[in-house]
Structure 1
Amino acid sequence: MAEHEFELEVRYYETDGQGVVHHANYFQYFELARVEMLKAYGHEYADLERDGILLVVHSISCRYHRPALFGDRLRIHTSVTNITMARLEHDYKVFRGNELLAEGVSTLACIDRNGNMRRMPEIFFVDVESGDPAS
């Protein structure tokens, strides 16, 4: 299945008064991870939306192990764990160095502009062996 990693630095506004990342920001990190993963495979969310394809969060969760702090350099590992005709599932792991800070799971539904389910675009079906997008 497709995998991707990228790094980001925790910004001050993402933290509380003690310099700890607010728990809700992990969901923004996960969204950023999905966008960066799609870019790494040569596609843009804006192009999908222009074509009337919307990927909306059906469900999302996060399990917190250790706090991330202001100034930390985080590495977010994202993997596609399941894809169906209308849904896409991701797993996320957030690391500081080799220390696992949080794990998440999301399911996205593919809909049109009217909110009707639609078929997942072919670009999301990857060659399992190579991890490359389907042609």
Structure 2
Amino acid sequence: MFTNTNKLRVRYGETDQMGYMYYGNYAEFYEVARVEMLRTLGLTYKGMEEFGIMMPVLELHCKYIKPALYDEEITIKTTIEKMPGVKIHFKYELFNEKQELINVGETLLVFVNMEAKRPCLAPAYFLDKMKPFFG
């Protein structure tokens, strides 16, 4: 299992009239969290695209428990529970400044060969970076 944590602050433009983070922005927080998680391993979307691999999202699940509020620093815990293959599954837990769980989500992405426009196995260099966490 591989876990990473990072923090994002809710900006004014991400909120609605009530000062709550707009529901559609949670997906953007998930994206930032997974991009930064992969970056900690030296993996980037840009680097994968240079090798001809894309990672589109197949599924997004989101459960709202409490609102994220304007100017709050949100802690995002991102977890990959099993070794990727053709697909990679990310889980997210968002916590407010009081460390209360406010949101949980999941995304399922697929590795796609850009030339063939077909699903493919995760690249070997990607799997090599993941192996230490899934002994």
Name the structure 2 match of 1:32: 32
Preserved CA contact (<8 Å) 1:55 1:111: yes
Name the structure 2 match of 1:62: 62
Q: Structure 2: how far apart are the matches of 1:30 and 1:19? A: 20
Q: Structure 2: how far apart are the matches of 1:60 and 1:14? A: 19
Question: Shift of residue 83 of structure 1?
Answer: 3.4
TM value normalised by structure 1: 0.90
| Secondary structure of residue in 1 paired with 2:69 | coil
1:106 to 2:111 alignment? no
1:77 to 2:83 alignment? no
Any residues of structure 2 matched to 1:1-135 within 5 Å, and which?
1-97=1-97, 98-113=99-114, 114-122=116-124, 123-124=126-127, 125-128=130-133
Preserved CA contact (<8 Å) 1:2 1:126: no
Segments of structure 1 that go 5 or more residues without pairing to the other structure are 131-135
Query: More displaced, 83-92 or 99-108?
Result: 83-92
Question: Shift of residue 74 of structure 1?
Answer: 0.3
Preserved CA contact (<8 Å) 1:86 1:109: yes
Q: Structure 1: how far apart are the matches of 2:94 and 2:62? A: 10
Distance 1:129 1:47, change over 3 A: closer
TM value normalised by structure 2: 0.90
Preserved CA contact (<8 Å) 2:54 2:113: yes
Q: Structure 2: how far apart are the matches of 1:126 and 1:27? A: 27
Segments of structure 2 that go 5 or more residues without pairing to the other structure are none
Distance 1:49 1:95, change over 3 A: same
Question: Shift of residue 34 of structure 1?
Answer: 0.7
Measured on the aligned residues, the alpha-carbon RMSD in Å equals 1.5
| Secondary structure of residue in 2 paired with 1:5 | strand
Q: Structure 1: how far apart are the matches of 2:24 and 2:90? A: 18
Deviations 1:13-39 (A, max 9, x none): 111111110111000100111100011
Preserved CA contact (<8 Å) 1:82 1:90: no
Q: Structure 2: how far apart are the matches of 1:112 and 1:129? A: 24
